[in-house]
Amino acid sequence: MALIACGTQEVQNKNNTQTEVKNATSKIAAIQYPETKKSDVVDNYFETQVADPYRWLEDDMSEETADWVRAQNKVTADYLPQIPYRDELKASLKNLMDYEKVGAPFKEGNYIHTFIKMMVYKINMLFIAKKVKAKLKFS
């Protein structure tokens, strides 16, 4: 019975969280996307006509594409601050990402090297050892 109760509580908590997110999200202003130009480009692939109306966006060096990206970024920048649970979500993601990361070891000469990102220092550190089972020593 206890296992069923635990599972039921988890489902209830999940439903409550989903309801809270829906309620918070419903208060956000509707997004007004900028109009995106379409062109009449059509390619013929093995006698099949394939429309490519957004081909102009593939030129990432054009001023027209840069203007379109700026307009899209403005929509995003205006929308994100409206999310009421954004700070909590950001903190949760930061917490999930802050852990020690160990790179793949590699041998160079008679030494074994590995990079370790220690969250205490917030930098990648290079560790060098003579043996595979060497203990890490900090100085």
pLDDT in tens, 7-34: 555 555 555 667 776 766 666 778 889 9
Element (H, E) at 118: strand 111-118
Q: How far apart are CA 84 and CA 103, in angstroms?
A: 37
Q: pLDDT under 50 in the chain at which residues?
A: 1-2, 139
pLDDT recorded at residue 57: 95
DSSP secondary structure code for residue 132 in this structure: T
* Among 131, 130, 127, 136, CA closest to 104: 127
Residue 91 CA, chain-centre distance (Å), reads 14
Q: What is the largest CA-CA distance in the chain?
A: 70
